[in-house]
């Protein structure tokens, strides 16, 4: 399973993103930045994993990457992580509708945090860890794995 997750991240290496929205460059560099921001922002490994894997679908279908990424992670990661990946663009695409739909639910706060982290991970000169090291940080958290 960890080999599969590593391969998803490795596939993001070299996937270029629109420079207007992602001046930092490729999707792997962005994902690693978002992961490191998550490590600083919270002690919740669900958020850490969602931050690391939120863009894995870009290696397959960039316009539909949230939905595709969620499909790729279903049955592998905890459903809470998969939900965050699937919905990580909702607050950008449909901000008011998303806030109304999930008002009062803890996952709205998680989604808002993930959105802030996603926007924050756009530094072209950031220093990031290797994706293998990121995976190692997640391994002790067995609750991240799908049941």
What does the pLDDT read at residue 22?
A: 67
What does the pLDDT read at residue 20?
A: 72
Which of residues 1 and 35 earns the better pLDDT score?
35
Please give the structure tokens belonging to residue 112.
Answer: 């808002």
The residue with tokens 């802030």 is 116
What is the average per-residue pLDDT within 32-37?
97
- Give the least confident one: 17-21, 41-45, 67-71, 136-140: 17-21
pLDDT digits (tens, 9 = 90+) for 64-122: 999 999 999 999 999 999 999 999 999 999 999 999 999 999 999 999 999 999 999 99
């Amino acid at each position: 399973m960890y080999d599969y997750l590593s391969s998803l991240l490795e596939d993001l290496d070299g996937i270029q993103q629109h420079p207007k929205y992602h001046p930092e460059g490729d999707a792997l560099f962005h994902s690693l930045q978002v992961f490191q921001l998550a490590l600083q922002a919270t002690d919740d490994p669900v958020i850490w994993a969602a931050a690391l894997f939120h863009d894995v679908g870009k290696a397959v279908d960039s316009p539909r990457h949230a939905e595709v990424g969620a499909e790729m992670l279903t049955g592998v990661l905890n459903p809470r992580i998969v939900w965050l990946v699937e919905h990580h663009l909702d607050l950008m695409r449909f901000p008011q509708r998303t806030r109304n739909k999930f008002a009062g639910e803890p996952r709205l706060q998680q989604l808002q945090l993930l959105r802030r982290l996603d926007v924050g991970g756009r530094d072209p000169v950031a220093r990031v860890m290797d994706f293998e090291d990121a995976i190692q940080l997640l391994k002790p958290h067995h609750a991240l794995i799908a049941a």
